[in-house]
Structure formats: C-alpha cells, structure tokens
Structure 1
C-alpha cells in the first residue's frame, strides 16, 4: 500500500510542479510569455520604454531593494533605435514571481545637433488582471491593438542671447485625431497580451506654437519675439506692445528675427 501511495503521489506531484513553473513563466496554457510593443512615429522621433514588474497576484514575496524589477528598451535612442520591443509578461527575480504592470514611455526627438537639443513627453500602457470592458484596449484579427496621440513643438527663448529652445507636448487622441484627455495612454488585461502586438501611433502637429502666451506675435509669415522691457528681460511679455521686437538665436547659432523662417 505504501508503494502504491508513493506511486500515486509521484504521478500527480510532477505535473502539479510543472503547472506551477509554467504559470510563473506565463505559459500555463501554452501561450507565449511575451508580446511586442512597437510605435509608428514621425521621422527623427523615437521612443524609450521601461517595463515595470511587480509580484504576481497572490504572491507575498518581494525583491530586495526592487532591483531588476524594471527592463528598459531604446534607452540610448540617439545611438541605436529599434521600433519593435519584445516584452516579457512574467519574470522571476530573486525567487519572486513577477508580472508586468505598466510600460512607462517617453516620446523623444532632437531639434538641434547639440546633445542637449532634445525634448520628450510621456505616455503609458497599463496592465491589470481585470478591467472593465470600456477601459480595455481592443485587438483586431491580426492580433494588433493601436492607441493614438499627437505631439506638437512649443518654442520659447532662453538666456541673454535669447536662444530658441523647443518643448515637445504630446496628447492623447482617437483614431481620427480628435483630442482626448491627458497623455497618450492605453490599458489591457494580462490575458489579452500573449503573442499580441501593441502599437503607439503618434502624429506630429503641422504647426508649432509659442510655449508661453503673450511673448510672440503672429505675423503673415511666422512669429516675432516681443522685446519686453529690454533685451535682458527674460520673460519679455508683449503687454500690448506689438511694435518692438527682438532678434533671437537658433540652436545652431544663426541670428534670426522671425520664426521659423529666420529672416523676413
């Protein structure tokens, strides 16, 4: 009887352990443990992504210091950039089974050649065990889900030379380009993602605009910078004076009187 009981326990113990290992690997049902994140961006744009992991539901373990619970993609986007990122759904770190909970995204571009002539704005993909249907991203027959946004360049001047600086401002939109609330965003349940593709589609607005109101004046062929009290006035609001303007300097050092054409 003892031998028979041992055989029965052995027979059922191995599959049970196998199911546990499969579950922590995200393949309990034979599904892939990864999905693809990709982006459709304007030329000279790139995204950075950081996948954030937390202990899986029901787990009481923790990772000492939270080390290795985030995985980055395209972190050196100015040196090398890959649109497609294969992201794991489940990972085990320090013996603790983890599951992906969000992807922190940064949409970046450079407006000049110097290393500091860059700007970016954020976006997020949230991943939960459960979501109400109205908040869940949807997938087409090809297994791809797309969320949308639009970015716009905002320009200002900085410092005594009034050097032109640009800020990237990104907002959520629908598929037709109608603006929504907040930054580009989408959400999914964990069981939606195995083997699927999530795409972030971001358009660039046709026109740029001043970052700060009442500092530039719109003219027929661009924008002119208000002088303010004097050339050293860092704020230089117009305050109704639409006759006195100042020059400014482009990031490459070119002296200009109108943006974006530089010369009138």
Structure 2
C-alpha cells in the first residue's frame, strides 16, 4: 500500500514515527471525455497548460506556485521556501489533548488514514493504541500536510489507529433554517416500532455497489454492438397520510417485504 504521508506522533516527550496510508480506494468506473465526431472516430480530449503570454504549452516542471496579492500581481513561492516555514512541530502529528470518542460530531470528519508505525516505533505505537482503546479516548492533534495545517483525531481500533482529518469549525456550514413541527405521540411510537423491527447488526461485507455491476453490463452491451434496454421502473406510491404510511411500512417490515 503506497504511503500518502510520513510523520510522527508526538505526545510530550513521546515520539512515534508513523506513515499514513489511505483507508479507501476508488472502485467506480471512470469515463474519458471524447470529441463528439460524426464519423465515429472518437478522440480523447487533451487538456494543455498554455501560457497566455507566450502561447506555448508549459511542462509541469516549468510551473511554480504564485499568490495573487493584487489584481494581476503575484508573489511566487518555491517548495523549498514552503518547507522553511515549517517548524519541527509542524512536521509531526503533535497531540494537543485527549477527549472522549463521543465528543467529536461526525459532521467534522473529512477523510481517514491508517496509521502504521515506522521501524523502531512499534512498541510505543501499540502502547498508545491500547491506552486510547481501553480508555475509550481519542487524541486531538494538529499537523501540516502539503500546504495546509490539519486538525486530526487519532481514533483507536482493535488493530490500529485511524487518523481522522477533521474540518475546522469555520469550514462547517451553518444548519439550514428548519421549521419545527409538533409530532403526534402515536406517530412517534409507530416510527420507533418501525425502527425496532428493521434493526440488525451492520455487516459491511454484505453491501456492494450494485449500480457499478449494471454499468459494467451496459458497457459490455455497447461493446457487443447492442442497444441498452431501459430499466423497469418501480410503481409510484400514492400519497397517503403519515400514520397510514407508517402502518403499511411496519407491516412490510414485519413481512420482510421492504425492498433493499
């Protein structure tokens, strides 16, 4: 598994060298953009980086970073200069404090990385993992990745530690205005019965991307020179009152007839 970032967890005098690995991979089908040519000789669209001043295509090695401080005026920053402003603390995942696992609202979670100890750091890493896991605590930390300081929650599991990159509070949009309405007690009890009747353990291995399978089948159909057949639509539900809808849905749940 490729390493996304190298760093070290620092807690006071404790220093644990670690590497960060992406927790997920892209499995969706990707399409190329082609020229809509009537001759059927489709060609991939190319995106070229052209300098508007000289009109020439610019190679990646010839591109530098610049910040527009006034309209049309830029100050350039090199990668070496970006490294110079990073302190030793910036280059580590420095723990600020510990907190309860339930303290962080899930809306704060941005993306995850697996943490893996580098050679020599295995024992300190395992000590930290066990201490966090048994205490049901997370470590709140900060680090710099690329050109951005990240807020991080070190989240212990039975086997390792997940580095959960958090949004800063200023990045979270305010909750949309919602008109509060009164809920009937009978409706609430019926809704709770529905939830209870459909509650079962979550098993991640039981779920797969069914649409991707349909998409691959459709692609193969086109490769075979056949037309894609329109999928059958489910019957539309007639508008009914909330209580009746809950009762009917509960009956369907009890009969295991709710489509998945």
TM-score in same-fold range (> 0.5): no
TM bin, normalised by shorter chain, reads under 0.3
More strand by share: 1
